[in-house]
Amino acid sequence: MFNSVLIANRGEIACRIIRSARALGMRTIAVYSEADKSALHVDMASDAFLLGPAPAIESYLNIDAVLRAVEESGADCVHPGYGFLSENKVFAERLAAAGVAFVGPTIEAIHKMGDKIESKKIARAAGVPTVPGAIDAIDDIAEAKRIAREIGYPVMLKASAGGGGKGMRVVAEESQFEDSLRACRNEAKGAFNDERVFIEKFIVRPRHIEIQVLADSHGTVLHLGERECSIQRRHQKVIEECPSPFVTPDMRERMGAAAVALAREVGYVSAGTVEFVVDAQRNFYFLEMNTRLQVEHPVTEMVTGVDIVEQMFRVAAGEKLSFGQDDVTWRGSAIEARLYAEDPTRGFLPATGRLVRYREPTSGVFGTSKSVRIDAGAAEGDEITRYYDPMISKLIATGATRDDAIKSMRRALDEFEVRGVATNLEFLSAIMAHPRFQAADLDTGFIAQEFGDRFLPMTGSYPDVGVLVAVAATMSRILAARRTGLQPRLRDGTLVGTQSHPPIYDDGWVVVLNNAHHAVRVAVAEDGFEVRTAQRAYLVRTDWTPSQSLFQARIDGAEVAVQCERSGDTITLRHAGFRAVARVLTPRAADMLSRMPEKTNARALKLLVSPMPGLVKSIAVAVGAEVRLGDPLVAVEAMKMENQLTAEADGTVKAILVKAGQSVEVGQTLIEFA
């Protein structure tokens, strides 16, 4: 085994690799940019080397800088993780020339499978089914349109290089073709410095299912089963699970055999993933092969018991795999959710800022830690910058069945506390609670179909609003006791609500929850609080104190964890993907509140401001143009993605205050409306 490893990456995957390397007794070496000097992966490693300035092109993508760190550190091998240089054959070649092992596949495999066009040709030669379409890059628009008409709309435009959902567009009709091709080429050029794009048939209601392969240099090639990755947004995976609820044992065997055949065709060594698109009839077609570790590898690890990162190290060191295909088994179910720094209420735009609070759900009173693994790349106090991918951490929940794994995930999401940066936590909870997800009725259009372009947690449905009413009323009762220092006791000191003294309800209150009024009465009982609404009574047992931002309780025996933020007399509650703003008032105060007119921010509707720091890529309107709600206005590139800002109301463009190619900051005004 190697003595030391340099991890040519950052964030959660660098931390993940460090854990397996430590277990194998290796010295771990981190690299970092100026923006990451206090990052978690730097703290975890044995040593760390500065690469350069914050932009990835000057640090994590700077091959010369990484190689200098390798030489100075004396590392025996380099693990690239995913992204950055993980599939860069030039980097692998230069490591080989320096006599340093690359923990990954051969240079030839990276070269052959790193190009989607070439990999599709190889797949066909190996007898693996491929999606109908043109196999070469688009040079002539007229010819491309002819091919699209021939295979039939909708079609998919895909960048030949790279991955991660970048440089991909679905084109529904010919009128959208040229604009989609331009955007696809621009994104591919910016992300991979390769603007080649090819065209293939878009499978209606497709599922994205991939096979994990593992191969050594002694001729053993096997697969670890499938992962379902159909829950995506803009071709970026959000939720992954193993095994797939759609795949039958026979289908797993056939898909696994196809993936192994492709790996053998290219002489593959190390861990890799063969991705397929699957139609409703369970026909599967090759999409691409990722010659690296995948973000979603933990779900396979949890179900098979195989540490994939450890096996990558062993294979790179020349060892033979210690198990064969017949030894691979699948036990239980695992689901992964990616926690992103993004604002779902604003079209999932990337968010930046400091993690002023970051508490993982591993210390919950309900034993969440027994069934949840957290792969984190940040810690409380860290800064989320605009320079890199916005993923903060990954939650992996397990269970004996898929339903059990979903329950574990829902509990973990409810208990995960993140403050200071907008995240998709509520959105992930809403997915887990969605009937279609729970029924495994999935396809890659799920998010667009069920949630649209943005997610508004206050407009969702909640199965029993009375639970949140009871939580707000209980919190108010505890706060009142804290303020007065009084407890509800009789003259002899006996607590009100014991068996010998029935609970005495206080005067009636009104919980105003998202502007809906709920009359309640609260009593302190021997075993908790009794909250009586017009519909029913709730028994709330909790040890919550006003200093805590997570309200954990048993309500009528059911475990409940509710995020809570207090501001004056207002409490914001977050639970199961639903957000509610609550106030507990006297009946008269509630009546007065209902008569107050709602405030509107007319000034805000007159401006388009940038929700993130980034680079203006294009402007879709001109001064004097009439725009409608939802019309595209400005495209801003941030965190390696092009984000389209749209009109939030009808209006007329009065002034455009920026130009294409200009850098902008958070809150900077881009367009003013008349």
8 Å CB contact between 211 and 225: yes
CB hemisphere CA count around 597 (13 angstroms): 3
- Buried-exposed string 60-99: b where 16+ CB fall within 10 A, e elsewhere: bbbeebbbebbeebebbbbbbbbbbbbbbbebbebbeeee
3-state SS record for 380-408: CCCEECCCCCCEEEEEEEEECCHHHHHHH
Give Cβ neighbours of residue 254 (< 8 Å, ≥ 6 apart).
284
What CA dihedral angle connects 364, 370, 374 and 375, to 10 degrees? 160
CA distance 150 to 169: 18
Radius of gyration of the chain (CA): 27
CA end-to-end span of the chain: 68
Query: Which residue type, as a one-letter code, is found at position 188?
Result: A
Phi, psi of 607 (to 5 degrees): -130, 145
Strands 47-52 and 27-33: parallel
- Cα-to-chain-centroid distance, residue 492: 56
Give Cβ neighbours of residue 610 (< 8 Å, ≥ 6 apart).
636, 645, 664, 665, 666, 667, 668, 670
SS3 565: strand
Give Cβ neighbours of residue 248 (< 8 Å, ≥ 6 apart).
282
The tokens 């790179």 sit on which residue?
316
8 Å CB contact between 341 and 421: yes
Written as six digits, the tokens of 124 are 């066909």
8 Å CB contact between 282 and 246: yes
CA distance 451 to 460: 10
Residue 632: count other Cβ atoms within 10 Å of its Cβ: 14
Q: Which residues are catalytic?
A: 288
Written as six digits, the tokens of 316 are 């790179």
8 Å CB contact between 538 and 470: yes
Written as six digits, the tokens of 212 are 């994990």
Query: Which residue type, as a one-letter code, is found at position 289?
Result: M
The tokens 């071709």 sit on which residue?
235
8 Å CB contact between 559 and 550: no
CA distance 243 to 334: 7
Spatial CA neighbour of 641 closest among 238, 210, 242, 187: 187
The residue length of the chain stands at 674
8 Å CB contact between 641 and 186: no
- Buried-exposed string 464-474: b where 16+ CB fall within 10 A, e elsewhere: ebbbbbbbbbb
Residues 333, 335, 339: CA angle, nearest 5 degrees: 165
Query: Which residue type, as a one-letter code, is found at position 65?
Result: A
